[in-house]
Structure 1
Amino acid sequence: MSTGEPAAASSFSPWSTIRRLLPGVATLVAVAAGARLVAPHAPLTPLLLAVAAGAVVANTVGVPDALAPGVAVHSLLLETGIVLLGAGVSLAALAAAGPALVVAVLVVVAGGLALVEALARLAGLDGRVGSLLAAGSAVCGVSAVAAAAGALDADESEVALAAGTVLTFDAVTLAVYPAVASTLALDPRVFGVWAGLSMFSTGPVTAAGFAYHPVAGEWATVTKLARNALVGVVAVAYSVRAAAETTPAGDARDRPEREASATGVRRAVAALWDGLPKFLVGFVAVAVLANAGVISGAARETLLVASDALFLLAFAGLGFDIRVDRMRDAGARPLAVVGVAFLAVSGAAYLLATSVV
């Protein structure tokens, strides 16, 4: 018995974790460094080059098992970069746009959810698939799909279908949005709010914003975080609806109904906690400390440099998540439903963005 304990302990040692993650992280560093070196001689920014390079590798040679754990760290790198980005955010500017921005976020999320749900019913899609598509497109991409899936008790095939659809639009909008903004010479703040309101997942939104302009990146991130904050509320709403649909009719004192109600409450609480973007708390804390003068000017610059470096690494990893085979499996009807809703929401979001800033 004692001979087994040291072995078990060593398997969870920091060094074993580092050895497991190091090859993939080193790959992200290599891709990011290559993007930085090539960018001065290419029409794309380092961020978009890093995404493109990762996507090319993932869809040609694939991601070896030895690299997968380290590459998957890109989500944590992105969240950490967003937290540090709080050091560069002006709370005064946010306060000026605050009420209008909050209204814009609520309008886009509520309208997007209702529109996708309605179109999904018209297209004859399963109710849970429609709800997953609605959450993913209206709130925060694949993260919202996962949160809603737990609330709705969706199966793996339904989650995969919705996630594939969302990832398809993530890849397309990441390329198209900065190009459209450059063609129209949009004000960076307008573009940032527009991207934050209408694009799906946090990674592509941040990448598109910073690919266009640093100010656009900050506003895109802030706007997207405001949307992300609603994912728990949306998951709870779906959980409550699912519990209501499964609660048997009959006397309120019946044990099956009490059990179903208790299950619904537990599911709602779990959905609210799981859906809360924890890094949002860190972002707000850093922003408050920086604007209060607790963080010095030199320290703020250091944090922002670190944030830029983390973003570049994270976007290299984001490219590895863009897989053509997943997009191919999305299916025509889900793509059509989300596509129609996206065009409508994107147009409305642009009008709202021009009124916010």
Structure 2
Amino acid sequence: MVADTLEAIPGFLALCLGALVARGLSGVVGVNELLLAIGLGVLATNVVGIPDRLRPGTATHGVWLAAGIVLLGASLTVEPVLETGSTVLLLLLGTVLATVATVEVIARNVAGLPERLGSLLAAGAGICGVSAVVAVGGAVRARETQIAYAAGVVLLVDAITIVVYPIVGSLLDLPANVFGVWAGVSMLSTGPVVAVGFAHSEAAGQWATLTKLTRNALIGVVALGYATYYARREADGTVSPRVLWANVPTFVLGFLALVALASLGAFSPGQQASISNAVDWLFLLAFVGLGTEIRLDDLRRTGIRPALVVFATIVLVSALSLSVALAVL
């Protein structure tokens, strides 16, 4: 074990260097740091080439990904769910179900994507962006290339919606509560939701944040649900509770345990901030490593279909959720 650890050190240091570069470049060029981390890994493996001595260390990206997912639970509580009004909660649940179902149907029956890739795109679009992609990706044991591709699609959609939503809100002169709830139920990642919410107004920012955090709380349920689904599929639908339990990834249980502890107030605001910072760095390490697993030939074979699936779904769901929000709020 000591020998394996020593063998992994050079590659791990390479991941650390990639994470630092991604964080630094993000502040300079204004591009999401996780997208840059993936890009650096892709460039390293397809242009420069990864030396064999670094491979044991870069292959540890799954460890950092699982650790980040577990710690992510410390920043989520069930309190937002309890604070959200019943009307908003119903709109949120309906939007999540519509998004997940639409992506799954289009991905499988129209675009012909691999099932697990479709599930990653559905989770990312329906719940909370990259965090849901990596959580579900680990839960269903998706390939590294599928996780990285789905995360890239999510980040691309984030970049577009953070520009489009404020324009639509201004053109339609949306009230603060309508705009905030609309952004919270239909945009993908938390950061862009909060940004566009407070860019509209203080009240819209509060509604957007509360709605999005409520939606984020569903990530554990969705990850566990997908893990159960694929475990049953692989066992031809005849799987005992014991076998099912054995197939549920340990990190998902760890994530749910930390959500429970956070909901009970086990972590102070300072501790949550420190844990959140650790999650950011763990995801950076993991995404640099994920990038090193991507071959450009694989991406060419996949094509732009996954991105088109998510774009089509977001346009449809955004329009429907805005119509409902205007009618009921």
TM range (shorter): 0.5 to 0.7
- 8 Å contact 1:83–1:279 — kept in the other structure? yes
Seen in structure 2, the aligned counterparts of structure 1 residues 173 and 131 have a Cα distance that, compared at 3 Å, is closer
2:51 aligns to what SS in structure 1? Answer: coil
Identity of aligned pairs, percent?
25
Structural RMSD (CA): 4.3
How far apart are 1:228 and its partner, in Å? 2.2
Unaligned stretches of 5+ residues in structure 2: 124-131, 170-178, 196-208
How far apart are 1:237 and its partner, in Å? 5.8
Q: Aligned partners of 1:51, 1:212: CA distance in 2, in Å?
A: 22
Which of 342, 351, 356 matches 2:310?
342
- 8 Å contact 1:182–1:212 — kept in the other structure? no
Q: Which letter does structure 2 place at the counterpart of 1:65?
A: D
Q: Aligned partners of 2:77, 2:320: CA distance in 1, in Å?
A: 21
- 8 Å contact 1:209–1:217 — kept in the other structure? yes
Seen in structure 2, the aligned counterparts of structure 1 residues 145 and 176 have a Cα distance that, compared at 3 Å, is closer
Seen in structure 2, the aligned counterparts of structure 1 residues 71 and 267 have a Cα distance that, compared at 3 Å, is farther
Deviations 1:225-268 (A, max 9, x none): 4432321343256457xx4xxxxxxxxxxxxxxxxxxxx52499
Which of 212, 223, 232 matches 1:228?
223
How far apart are 1:117 and its partner, in Å? 3.8
Deviations 1:160-200 (A, max 9, x none): 8xx8677555434433432432453498986675465xxxx
How far apart are 1:32 and its partner, in Å? 1.3
- 8 Å contact 1:195–1:220 — kept in the other structure? no
- 8 Å contact 2:61–2:286 — kept in the other structure? yes
Deviations 1:100-137 (A, max 9, x none): 544443333334334444336xxxx7xxx765565454
2:30 aligns to what SS in structure 1? Answer: coil
Q: Which letter does structure 2 place at the counterpart of 1:44?
A: V
Seen in structure 2, the aligned counterparts of structure 1 residues 325 and 137 have a Cα distance that, compared at 3 Å, is same
| Residue 265 (1) aligns with residue 233 (2) | no
2:278 aligns to what SS in structure 1? Answer: helix
How far apart are 1:60 and its partner, in Å? 0.6
Q: Aligned partners of 1:315, 1:191: CA distance in 2, in Å?
A: 27
The equivalent of 1:181 in structure 2 is: 162
Q: Which letter does structure 2 place at the counterpart of 1:231?
A: Y
| Residue 280 (1) aligns with residue 280 (2) | no
How far apart are 1:325 and its partner, in Å? 1.4
- 8 Å contact 2:80–2:214 — kept in the other structure? no
How far apart are 1:353 and its partner, in Å? 6.7
Q: Aligned partners of 1:165, 1:79: CA distance in 2, in Å?
A: 16
The equivalent of 2:200 in structure 1 is: none
Q: Which letter does structure 2 place at the counterpart of 1:309?
A: W
The worse-fitting range, judged by mean Cα deviation, of 182-191 and 140-149 is: 140-149
Q: Which letter does structure 1 place at the counterpart of 2:156?
A: A
- 8 Å contact 2:26–2:32 — kept in the other structure? yes
Seen in structure 2, the aligned counterparts of structure 1 residues 134 and 299 have a Cα distance that, compared at 3 Å, is closer
How far apart are 1:306 and its partner, in Å? 1.9
The equivalent of 2:261 in structure 1 is: 289
The equivalent of 1:54 in structure 2 is: 41
Q: Aligned partners of 1:221, 1:56: CA distance in 2, in Å?
A: 32
The worse-fitting range, judged by mean Cα deviation, of 57-66 and 90-99 is: 90-99
Q: Aligned partners of 2:212, 2:95: CA distance in 1, in Å?
A: 18
2:238 aligns to what SS in structure 1? Answer: helix
Equivalent residue pairs, number: 288
Which of 93, 105, 118 matches 2:109?
118
- TM-score, normalisation: structure 2: 0.66
1:326 aligns to what SS in structure 2? Answer: helix
Q: Which letter does structure 2 place at the counterpart of 1:57?
A: A
Q: Aligned partners of 1:136, 1:287: CA distance in 2, in Å?
A: 21
Q: Which letter does structure 2 place at the counterpart of 1:280?
A: V
The equivalent of 1:87 in structure 2 is: 74
The equivalent of 1:66 in structure 2 is: 53
Q: Aligned partners of 1:148, 1:88: CA distance in 2, in Å?
A: 23
| Residue 310 (1) aligns with residue 282 (2) | yes
Q: Which letter does structure 1 place at the counterpart of 2:268?
A: S
How far apart are 1:25 and its partner, in Å? 1.0
| Residue 40 (1) aligns with residue 27 (2) | yes
Q: Which letter does structure 2 place at the counterpart of 1:235?
A: Y
| Residue 325 (1) aligns with residue 297 (2) | yes
Seen in structure 2, the aligned counterparts of structure 1 residues 190 and 77 have a Cα distance that, compared at 3 Å, is farther
The equivalent of 1:105 in structure 2 is: 96
Seen in structure 2, the aligned counterparts of structure 1 residues 298 and 102 have a Cα distance that, compared at 3 Å, is same
- TM-score, normalisation: structure 1: 0.62
Q: Aligned partners of 2:100, 2:159: CA distance in 1, in Å?
A: 22
The equivalent of 1:257 in structure 2 is: none
Deviations 1:72-108 (A, max 9, x none): 2222212212222222224321334566544443333
1:295 aligns to what SS in structure 2? Answer: coil
1:308 aligns to what SS in structure 2? Answer: helix
